[in-house]
């Protein structure tokens, strides 16, 4: 069995598990990758990025991560 992702505008819109001999033209083999609906697909790198955490997050393709300035990512100080 293999896992396939259907991509529209570089966003995963569907994920399906199918037999090895299924050869869909418009689905991408994503077996052994963590993929869910809403993930961003990077066609040049052939990798899938998780759904971005906040609206202001910017995709850092080289590092394969989201660069996000949202203060929710700031380390919270613990007050005794």
Site residues, Zn ion (CB under 5 A) = 53-54, 57, 68, 70
Q: How far is the CB of 76 from Zn ion (least distance, A)?
A: 15
CB of 21 or CB of 71, closer to Zn ion: 71
Q: How far is the CB of 68 from Zn ion (least distance, A)?
A: 3
Q: How far apart are CA 46 and CA 30, in angstroms?
A: 9
Q: How far is the CB of 39 from Zn ion (least distance, A)?
A: 16
Query: Are the C-beta atoms of 2 and 31 separated by less than 8 Å?
Result: yes
Query: Are the C-beta atoms of 33 and 47 separated by less than 8 Å?
Result: yes
């Amino acid at each position: 069995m293999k896992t396939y992702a259907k991509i529209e505008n570089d966003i995963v819109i569907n994920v399906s598990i199918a037999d090895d001999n299924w050869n869909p033209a418009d689905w991408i083999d994503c077996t052994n990758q963590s993929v869910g609906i809403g993930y961003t697909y990077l066609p040049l790198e052939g990798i899938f990025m998780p759904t971005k955490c906040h609206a202001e997050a910017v995709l850092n393709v080289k590092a394969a991560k989201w660069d996000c300035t949202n203060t929710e990512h700031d380390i919270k100080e613990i007050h005794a």
